Structure 1
Amino acid sequence: MSENPNAPLGAPWPRPQQVAPPAPAPESAPQPTPPPSPQRRWRIVALVAGLVVLLGLTGFTITRYVLRQPPPPKPPSQPFDIGGAYARVRPGVANVEAVLATGQGVASGTGIVLGADGLVLTNNHVVEGSIVVRVTLAGGRVHDAKVLGYDRSHDLAVLKLAGVSGLPTATLGDSGQVKPGDYVLGVGNAGGQGGEPASAVGRVTALGRSIVARDAETGATETLHDLIQTDAPVRQGDSGGPLTDTAGRVIGVNVAGSAGYAVEKGEHESYTIPITPAAEIAGQIAAGKESGSIHIGPSAYLGMTVNETADGAGAMIQALVQKGPADEAGLKAGLLVVGVGDQPVRSAADLIAQMDRHHPGETLKFTITGQGGQQATVSVQAASGPIG
């Protein structure tokens, strides 16, 4: 193209200066790195600056993300002040030990201190068959206890400690105010281990329930009515102990059963005698007022065990204590007791209930029958012996 600036197409673009290429370096010598041009330097600086800005923004974003993470989940809170409720009822809770007759061992349970003078409420099945009862109070003091009386049909017994006064007592609530869904706390001598009572938390699941309790030795059954049902995991040894509300007020007497007293219940079910009627029965026993179901004082002892019969024909004599009242009167194992005085006996439970109406020293007339169907009347003078 013409170099004339006045040419029709104008001046051409200037041509780049022709520079001869450098001579190739020897193979052994490294190629020198040419210094970056000013334009490349600015590109590198811009790239680094951009990377720094990007990292800064990324770091800022991560930091904000970490700060906004939700806190770790908290452990589930207690449904109520369990420690506070326990502390309020604990001074009025006692461990009960009953030494059983004929070398059968020791039964363990729990009691509720009702009176500062040593009045203690527990289950009848805790002390039934015992010859010695001991009560361990809060603080570890141990006292012998006398059974003032019992109500077998409600599974309640009242003990009296000798020579005590000023004892802390349990605060009683109103079991009539209890409703399903209420939180509750069971306290007792779980497992009969002694020492500090254990606690069991649950909720009321039903009211007005009935259960059947069975005596392992005689096979006799007793139906307990109008009970509070809960899912608190009370165990053997908790029997006779308190069930409290969330304020530590006693609303019932736990019925957990024992090795010789089986309570028919489902899994995750516990039963409690409402405290309002229980306290009324305890007051009658403490006042020495007998009734059709309340026995006051020592039990009438015959020295024999009986079993249920399959056809409800009476109470079968299973065994006799050598030289006991029944043995001395000539009764034998295998005979049927079908009456006491003018009252018929159709079962072991009938006979036990009849004996609760009598006392040591009384002479009782038993109607007996054998396999041949013939009947005879045998007089037996009751002695003083194990409770119930």
Structure 2
Amino acid sequence: MTRLRSGTLLAMALSAGLAFAAPVPVFAFGAPESFADLAAKISPSVVNITTTSTVAASTGGNPMVPPGSPFEDLFPDQNGPQGPQRSEALGSGFVISEDGYIVTNNHVIEGADSIEIEFFSGKKLPAKLVGTDPKTDIALLKVETDAPLPFVQFGDSDLARVGDWVVAMGNPLGQGFSVSAGIVSARNRELSGTYDDYLQTDAAINRGNSGGPLFNMDGQVIGVNTAILSPNGGSIGIGFSMASNVVSKVVDQLKQFGETRRGWLGVRIQDVTPDIAESMGLTEAKGALVTDVPDGPSKTAGIKPGDVITMFAGNEVTDANSLTRRVADAPVGEAVPVVVLREGRTETLQVTLGRREDEEAKAFPAATPAPAEPHEMDILGLTLAPLTDDLRGKLGLDQGAEGLVVTGVDQASEAFTKGLREGDIITEAGQQKVLRLKDLQDRIQEAKSAGRKSLLLLIRRDGDPRFVALSLE
């Protein structure tokens, strides 16, 4: 490929009568000459955390040594059960107020009998646990001190851009205070939690860095270093820090209540995929599709299965996760407007939010699926049979359960690819109840007559509902 100088390329373009829009300026900033001033400013707020806990009695992990053996002196404690032992663990944290509140990871202090804080100055103080949130892996500690402590503030993690410089601080591998630098590699990463919103960074993070801060160049905390992706246990440049905009809300609640108090809408939801959008006649695959409405705030307000939630408290809902996070951040007991799309029309409903933690504490019986014999009709890659009392008993369902039971799935079918399995119950097709096989056939014919390429099915498994769109072609 021949490379042309910019002047030559411009001359050629002008001679050809072509015109170009003015280029958008791109500002590239070089690496800081040094991170030393920033490190000196923020280091006094970063702490090392040592926890001790009692390990339960063990029968010993090494080979048993027979009494009188010549090796008995080498393994004096290996014969017989071992008593409870003390164990120590190390982590990191940071001070967020001059009166001694400290943020770290929940997994750093989980199960600890005692917690000791070591400050940058070398001073050590005992800490008490204020509260924890396992869902975001955040814990809040408190030390008592007469002198004001140096502290740092949370920054706005939403302003962090991919490519921005960041600095991680902590106690990696128990080596003491350490600083590493890198960039924001990615945003909005999800690992396994409902409220996950991680910043990914290539700043070196290792064991012992857990709970330590991730700083922007203004010395504000924009993340809490929580996890790494590594095949060998050491940093390979893929670390994850829980975003400060999540952490700060959790910390405020832990400080005020000693526990989290998240809003609860009272619906089960899933994403609106392109095929589901097509099957429902939607123009965009956006929003959160309601699959079930148990007794609670949403049912009282009139939300129904099959509704697509498009707005919550004045904010657009793009997918199920965005709705979950917005609801969690909303105040418990507050009435909020929820806009739903139902049968092609929008409706605004006022929902008074409950508290999620109260609902999660309740126990719900789970159905026990069992294989059923193939029966009656093969359609859409499924073998289906209407629910009978005998099938309800075999599947562990309530006598009031209705629908069509999946008794077989063609492994080469789209239905199998999309996760349908034996024992699943189809309760709706085309957002209408199906009780008989003919009901499903009618819904298929109606969808084809309307020019639809797929049919939306509501599937229940172990009592949990979800929508699946299957192709009719």
> Given the two structures, how large is their TM-score scaled by the length of structure 2?
0.41
Select the structure of larger CA radius of gyration: 1
